[in-house]
């Protein structure tokens, strides 16, 4: 918290204003809910949700005083739909989506805009650096087969994943737009998934996800 506060203070001392905040810190936690312990879930929320909240709260008084500013929250396609073994991660992204949407109403009178960026599968080290729940590493876990299946699915999706540059271009387009939208999808895969979710029933979408 102190590091964030000091960084913002330095920006104001050097520039006397703060125009854009991009909340991009986060990590993945993989494991079925039953295999997750509460400390693992708390750690996931501490970074993906509460870190975003704290940073945003630090900049809001500055942006209100300016009566301008743009807050970009990097969410995920997983903020719009769930997938197996991702209950903790997905729930943090759902939280970011709801938080950002609510903030948009609160901050509009002060000239502050908020944006959600929703990437799909991106060719980074995100999955390699994701945390695997301790109980999920037990070959006797009742979810061991599901974990292996999801690992294989991720490997296949990574082959057709988007590049980090693609996401950066989406962010740049959003922040340079005079009237940015609330949500921007970032990736052909997530565009297909969201389009399917809008057209399908919950049962149809679930059956599609099970085949990925």
Taking the C-alpha atoms of residue 181 and residue 6, their distance in angstroms, rounded to an integer, is 31
Residue 66: the pLDDT is 97
Catalytic residue among 45, 89, 105, 184: 89
- Strand, helix or coil at 70? strand
Give me the residue spans of the domains in the chain: 2-210
Q: Are 90 and 82 in contact (CB under 8 A)?
A: yes
Taking the C-alpha atoms of residue 153 and residue 146, their distance in angstroms, rounded to an integer, is 10
CATH of region 2-210: 3.40.50.720
Residue 132: the pLDDT is 94
Residue 210: the pLDDT is 84
Q: Are strands 69-74 and 112-119 parallel, antiparallel or unpaired?
A: parallel
Taking the C-alpha atoms of residue 28 and residue 126, their distance in angstroms, rounded to an integer, is 7
User: What do you get for the CA distance between the two ends of the chain, in Å?
Assistant: 39
- Strand-pairing partners, residue 122, are 162
Structure tokens, 190 = 């997530």
Using alpha carbons, select from 94, 96, 97, 115 the residue that is nearest to residue 171.
Answer: 115
63 burial level (CB within 10 Å; 0-12, 13-18, 19+)? buried
Is 89 annotated as catalytic? Answer: yes
The owner of tokens 């719009």 is 80
Each of the 212 residues of the chain gets a pLDDT tens digit; together they read 678 889 999 999 999 999 999 999 999 999 999 999 999 999 999 999 999 999 999 999 999 999 999 999 999 999 999 999 999 999 999 999 999 999 999 999 999 999 999 999 999 888 778 899 999 999 999 999 999 999 999 888 888 899 999 999 999 999 999 999 999 999 999 999 999 999 999 999 999 988 87
Residue 163: the pLDDT is 94
Residue 165: the pLDDT is 96
- Strand-pairing partners, residue 117, are 74, 184
Q: Are 116 and 182 in contact (CB under 8 A)?
A: yes
């Amino acid at each position: 918290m102190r590091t964030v506060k000091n960084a913002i203070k330095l920006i104001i001392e050097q520039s006397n204003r703060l125009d854009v905040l991009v909340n991009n810190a986060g990590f993945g936690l993989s494991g079925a809910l039953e295999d997750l312990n509460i400390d693992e879930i708390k750690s996931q929320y501490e970074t993906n949700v509460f870190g975003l909240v704290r940073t945003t709260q630090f900049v809001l008084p500055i942006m209100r005083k300016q009566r301008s500013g743009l807050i970009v929250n990097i969410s995920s396609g997983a903020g719009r739909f769930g997938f197996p073994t991702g209950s903790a991660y997905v729930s943090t992204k759902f939280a970011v989506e709801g938080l950002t949407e609510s903030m948009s109403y609160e901050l509009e009178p002060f000239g502050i805009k908020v944006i959600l960026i929703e990437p799909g599968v991106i060719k980074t080290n995100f999955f390699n650096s994701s945390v695997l729940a301790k109980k999920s590493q037990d070959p006797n876990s009742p979810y061991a087969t599901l974990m292996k299946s999801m690992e294989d699915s991720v490997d296949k999706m990574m082959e057709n994943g988007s590049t980090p540059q693609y996401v950066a271009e989406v962010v740049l387009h959003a922040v340079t737009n005079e009237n940015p939208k609330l949500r921007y999808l970032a990736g052909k895969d997530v565009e297909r998934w969201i389009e399917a979710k809008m057209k399908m029933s919950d049962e149809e979408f679930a059956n599609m996800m099970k085949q990925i």
